[in-house]
């Protein structure tokens, strides 16, 4: 099996077909959101999250530049569900790219094409009944990476329009959800990287594309934080959410000893810890920014390299490995 270069005509047909099928299906049976994240994002962008408060592009979960763009569009045409269109449009574009690339993946015959596209649709069809911005962003990142790799790895000169299109699709995925789009890129590079590292596939182009994608991700993420920095309150809330995510979600379930040390550093009870972990930390005197920042710093010190080495030495058995034989 090989990955064929993108055929623009196939992409256009696939995109129009997917849009038509989904639009018809959604008129008969409107889709639902998989999680409440999309609901909270849309309510914030439309100004319906808190009664009496204006719309805001600072929704934390998606890029601020995309958020404020949707806020502006809502003011011009408030009857249009702009967030829904962004999520659905990102999903549709990614699926169209995958179909266009899979069209000749198994060969030019109708059976080969039906097999490759059919296998892809088995996984894609369930996505049409429910929307989720993380799924759309992940597929966009993966489709952008695969599109760039197939174009740069071709024996003929790369088409600049296709390379630019892959970059645009990646940026859209990063704006919808940066971490998800980055995960899509990483998945494609890990799974198909060895295929493009052969001499015939020009490995230098693969490495250059990988570095370019990494730089693009860093720049987009930096701009998100930069936009929040113009508003003191939202910047604090932005950093607060990042610290909570890194403390609990990325750190996983902490060992009891480390949990006790983190809690003791800010005077949290077991209930206070569980409330914050469940995103119910509503008491500012207990779960305020200063307390969380202190807990986060203590957690960071516990997981630093020096702390890991000290912990390993403390747990080292009396006998060496050689004495066990």
How do the domains of the chain map onto residue ranges?
8-228, 232-315
32 DSSP β-pair partners: 130
Mean pLDDT of the chain: 82
Residue 50 is predicted with a pLDDT of 84
Share of the chain above pLDDT 70, in %: 86
Residues whose CB is less than 8 angstroms from the CB of residue 229 and which lie 6 or more positions away in sequence, other chains included: 235
Distance (Å, rounded) from C-alpha 151 to C-alpha 205?
A: 10
What tens digit of pLDDT does each residue of 217-229 get? 999 999 999 999 9
Per-residue pLDDT, averaged over 47-53, amounts to 86
Residue 319 clears pLDDT 70, i.e. is over it: no
Which SS3 state, helix, strand or coil, does residue 230 take? coil
Partner residues linked to 33 by β-bridges? 131
- Taking the model in full, what pTM does it have? 0.81
pLDDT at 82: 93
Read off the pLDDT of residues 147-205 as tens digits, 9 standing for 90 and up. Answer: 888 887 776 777 888 888 999 999 999 999 999 999 999 998 888 777 766 656 567 77
Please give the average per-residue pLDDT across 54-70, as a whole number.
93
């Amino acid at each position: 099996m090989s990955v064929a270069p993108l055929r623009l005509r196939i992409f256009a047909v696939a995109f129009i077909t997917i849009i038509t099928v989904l639009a018809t299906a959604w008129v008969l049976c409107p889709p639902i959101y998989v999680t409440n994240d999309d609901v909270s994002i849309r309510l914030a962008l439309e100004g319906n999250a808190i009664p009496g408060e204006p719309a805001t592009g600072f929704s934390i979960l998606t890029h601020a530049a995309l958020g404020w763009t949707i806020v502006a569009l809502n003011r011009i045409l408030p009857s249009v569900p702009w967030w829904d269109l962004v999520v659905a449009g990102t999903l549709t574009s990614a699926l169209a790219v995958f179909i266009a690339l899979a069209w000749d993946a198994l060969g030019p015959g109708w059976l080969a094409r039906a097999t490759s596209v059919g296998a892809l649709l088995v996984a894609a069809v369930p996505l049409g009944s429910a929307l989720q911005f993380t799924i759309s962003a992940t597929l966009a990142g993966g489709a952008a990476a695969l599109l760039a790799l197939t174009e740069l790895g071709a024996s003929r000169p790369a088409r600049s329009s296709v390379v630019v299109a892959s970059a645009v699709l990646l940026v859209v995925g990063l704006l919808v959800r940066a971490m998800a789009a980055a995960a899509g890129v990483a998945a494609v590079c890990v799974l198909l990287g060895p295929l493009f590292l052969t001499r015939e596939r020009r490995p230098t182009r693969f490495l250059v594309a990988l570095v370019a994608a990494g730089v693009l991700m860093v720049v987009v993420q930096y701009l998100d934080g930069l936009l929040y920095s113009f508003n003191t309150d939202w910047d604090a809330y932005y950093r607060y959410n990042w610290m909570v995510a890194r403390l609990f979600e990325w750190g996983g379930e902490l060992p009891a000893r480390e949990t006790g040390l983190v809690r003791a550093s800010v005077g949290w009870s077991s209930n206070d810890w569980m409330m914050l972990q469940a995103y119910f930390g509503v008491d500012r005197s207990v779960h305020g920014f200063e307390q969380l920042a202190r807990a986060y710093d203590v957690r960071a010190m516990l997981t630093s390299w020096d702390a890991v080495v000290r912990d390993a030495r403390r747990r080292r058995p009396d006998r060496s490995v050689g004495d066990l034989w």
